[in-house]
Amino acid sequence: MSKAPPRILSIAGSDSSGGAGIQADLKTITMLGGYGMSAITTITAQNSVGVQAIAPISGDVVYKQIMACIDDIGVDAVKIGMLHDTEIIAAVTGALEALDHSVPIVLDPVMIATSGAALIAPEAVAAMREELFPKATLITPNLPELEHLADRTLHNSEQMTGAAEALAGASGAAILAKGGHTEDARIIDLLMIPKEDGGCRAVSFNHARIDTPHTHGTGCTLSAAIATLMGHGQPLENAVRLARQFVFQAITHAPGYGAGNGPLGHQAVRNL
């Protein structure tokens, strides 16, 4: 028999149009050879032009979804996305206590949709920082999220470096600061990996910008890809490198759906 696929649990919101959230995560996990499971935190009505409605799931139901996966199927890696409020964050934090500490946890601190809609209650940001950041293996903020977490304005990769290093030091987690919103000519992502001596090892990734409006769900896809690759046993740096290639190809193969910021072409990615 061939080796069983890694069991990847996505804890995130549902995107009714299929471009982001749980739907994007499960497509990504499947294309990368993982076995996808889900704990839905929030139901949204959204599409390529915006978010029309948000309905959070109760913390108790979120907790039970996670435990149903852990207790029976087992989990090799976790991706965390949209959490919405403090009740859900507390439920996720409690459920993750049942995992072995060796299981990688990739946390995408989803706060604002690409359309600009707020996806998390303000008080939930503090709860996420206090309760979940210490459990994360990797945190993947985009520029607006990193600005919020660092409480400073960031314009380029140089400024992003200092903020990412500070966040890594405060959280104890590796930080992948995504540079898609910077003023740099190329997209530069910075991976900050904490060292035992208290500093960080910095790794830079970059590629040319793609002239397209179809980037809905890129953050969800990237974090799900990293979690899946780590579930396969890839070390963090290599998982990030391969996941970025997956996202790049998915963007270039976007089907062109929707009147606004359309979904990626997950199903078109063949080789990394």
Residue numbers annotated as active site: 178, 215, 217-220
Q: At what angle do helices 236-252 and 218-231 cross, to 10 degrees?
A: 140
How many helices (H) does the chain have, and how many strands (E)?
A: 8, 9
CA 129 to chain centre: 15
Residue with tokens 């890129």: 218
Cβ–Cβ < 8 Å for 142, 219: yes
Q: Is 56 helix (H, G, I), strand (E, B) or coil?
A: strand
Looking at residue 157, its amino acid is S
Alpha-carbon separation of residue 201 from 123, 142, 165, 204, 218 (angstroms): 31, 19, 9, 10, 25
How long a stretch of residues is the chain?
A: 272
